Amino acid sequence: MKRFPNGSRVCFIGDSLVNENLIVSWVADCYRENFPQEDIRFFNCGSAGGTAEFALNSFEDDCLRLKPTAAVVAFGVNDSAIWALNEKKGMERYSILKRSFEVYKECLEKLCRKILDNNIELILCTPAPYDEYGPSEREALKGGYALLSEYADFARHLAIQNKYTLCDYYAETVKLMQTEKLYGPDHIHPMAHGYYRLAEIFLKNQGLKIGEECDIVQKYPEWNEAVTNYRKLFVAESMVLRKPELPVSEKLELARNYVMQNEDFADDWRTKWFVELCKNYSENRERVDELAAFAEEMYVKEFLNK
């Protein structure tokens, strides 16, 4: 992997591991420290609950509006329907897992082609592994580690077959898991140290060295807050509305209907979160360009000192 040249605009496209903005923050911090005279900009195109299918269908509305020169793509855990390992049995579970894998393969391949067709440099990543065997107060899903390994194998196959640049998060993280605790209690999402290691893997592949571990969000607080506010719009689409291909007017109607139907009956954290996402979506979706521009403005302020 070559490092990004001066003038690059790099979108990280993925699920909640990208949406968390820690990996993007560490990568941007490394470029700021090592190439202070260069104008290299990083953008978060991660959505909690995101899949390759969602990214494919929202690509023009999400990634392309940022005018990227490069895209870093990482999907797998949400695509895998890993939840079925616990909730379904027998042929029903097999059918769900098989169908999910087929959709992932088809959509990831189409997403990669769409990126390249828009003259954007592609870096394809394997998903991070499922931490099935690590210590945790929550019971892990049996078979989760093996399931995600199949998704990593396909990403590698796709990269090799098409000569795409590859960052193998899966293989490198598996090695680190032997000696370090990287994951939180749900076995899917890393702790802050785990995100640091994922960013380190990426930068190492580019021949770069990550900075000393610290609270990276507090190092760039205004940009991180702006990114969080901007990405909430796409999290609402990936987690609640689930129809990114619809016109904005129809998605706004879906969001308003969700609030009307659920606000007075939200008695669990997930529904309450979804209601808040849809409220925010209804109020701010038509300001998406403004919010994206403000996030970039904060990046320029905190990373480029302009």
> What gap in Å lies between CA 208 and CA 285, rounded to an integer?
37
All structural domains of the chain, each given as residue ranges with its CATH number in brackets, are 9-216 (3.40.50.1110), 221-303 (no CATH)
Phi, psi of 219 (to 5 degrees): -70, -30
What is the predicted pLDDT for the residue at 62?
96
Q: Which amino acid is at 187?
A: H
- In which band, very low, low, confident or very high, does the pLDDT at 251 lie, cut at 50, 70 and 90? very high
φ and ψ at residue 35, rounded to 5 degrees: -135, 60
Q: Where are the alpha helices (DSSP H) in 118-215?
A: 144-162, 169-177, 192-205
Pairwise CA distance, residues 44 & 146, whole Å: 29
Would the pLDDT of 88 be above 80?
no
Residue 57 corresponds to which amino acid? N
Please give the average per-residue pLDDT across 1-17, as a whole number.
Answer: 97
Q: What is the mean pLDDT of the segment spanning 248-276?
A: 93
Query: Percent of the chain at pLDDT above 70?
Result: 100
135: pLDDT strictly greater than 90: no
pLDDT one-digit tens code per residue, 176-216: 999 999 999 999 999 999 999 999 999 999 999 999 999 99
Closest C-alpha to 105, from 151, 148, 147 = 151
* Alpha-carbon span 131 to 292, nearest angstrom: 34
**pLDDT attached to residue 87:** 79
Q: State how far the alpha carbon of 83 is from the alpha carbons of 16, 77, 78, 132, 186, in Å.
A: 16, 10, 9, 13, 12
| Tokens representing residue 100 in the block | 């999910």
Average pLDDT over the chain, rounded to an integer: 96
| Tokens 């579970």 belong to residue | 93
Tell me: pLDDT of 264 over 90: no
Least Cα distance to 46 among 128, 150, 119 occurs for 128
